[in-house]
């Protein structure tokens, strides 16, 4: 069929990517259709503009941080997202069943927590500062809340986990911070996978 002949992955690459992402072959094919629709210029890679045209994605409070995940590789910024990179980034957003996914899978609680940490650590210094946390919480909260109240929420959240008392959240402390959040299920981008 037309689709499989235009698929940019060889059958070996296909089985490798299935293994790496945990996606089934059928899902990879579906995502390829999606990718081709998003790739308006038929360039074989996606630009930021292409992502912003997806459903309500432009309204996602974490839009820029999510885009950064797609467009970053080995600390460099990519100009376009190829199909394999598209799949690998999406893999972290696949909903998972709590405590059922092996830790080495890209959609396990551990992997998702790492990706979330990277998203919040905007300056990439390996810690989440109060400003980084403040910004993230601010963009998530839609209720009317004063900056002072928000500051005190953030301060309290940091205090609660700040074992080394440096006023910042290390990765280990972050794991404590999110321990009661069902990350497996919440950290997902359903619109791309359905």
The H or E element spanning position 192 is: helix 190-193
Q: At 187, list the tokens.
A: 């950290």
Among 81, 108, 113, 121, binds Ca ion (CB under 5 A): 121
Could you give the string, one character per residue 151-190, with x where binding to Ca ion holds by CB under 5 A and - elsewhere? -----------x-x-x-x----------------------
Angle formed at CA 117 by CA 143 and CA 148, multiple of 5 degrees: 35
90: left (phi over 0), alpha (psi -120 to 50) or beta: alpha
Total residues contacting Ca ion by CB under 5 A comes to 7
Residue closer to Ca ion by CB (options 125, 185) is 125
Distance CA 13, CA 73 (A): 19
Contact status: 49 vs Ca ion (CB under 5 A): no
Contact status: 135 vs Ca ion (CB under 5 A): no
Residue closer to Ca ion by CB (options 92, 119) is 119
Tell the smallest beta-carbon distance from residue 86 to Ca ion (Å): 27
β-bridge mates for residue 93, sequence order = none
Interface residues with Ca ion (CB under 5 A) are 121, 123, 125, 162, 164, 166, 168
């Amino acid at each position: 069929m037309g689709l499989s002949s235009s698929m940019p992955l060889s059958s070996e690459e296909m089985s490798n990517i299935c293994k790496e992402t945990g996606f089934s072959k059928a899902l990879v094919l579906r995502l390829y259709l999606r990718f081709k629709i998003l790739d308006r210029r038929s360039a074989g890679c996606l630009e930021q503009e292409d992502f912003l045209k997806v459903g309500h994605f432009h309204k996602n409070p974490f839009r820029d941080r999510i885009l950064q995940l797609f467009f970053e590789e080995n600390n460099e910024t990519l100009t376009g997202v190829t199909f394999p990179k598209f799949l690998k980034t999406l893999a972290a957003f696949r909903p998972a069943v709590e405590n059922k996914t092996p830790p080495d899978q890209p959609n396990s609680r551990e992997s998702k927590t790492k990706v979330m940490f990277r998203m919040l650590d905007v300056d990439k210094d390996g810690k989440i500062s109060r400003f980084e946390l403040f910004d993230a919480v601010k963009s998530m909260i839609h209720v009317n809340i004063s900056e002072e109240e928000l500051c005190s929420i953030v301060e309290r959240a940091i205090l609660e986990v700040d074992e080394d008392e440096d006023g910042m959240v290390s990765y280990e402390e972050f794991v404590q911070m999110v321990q009661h959040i069902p990350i497996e299920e919440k950290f997902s981008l359903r619109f791309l996978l359905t």
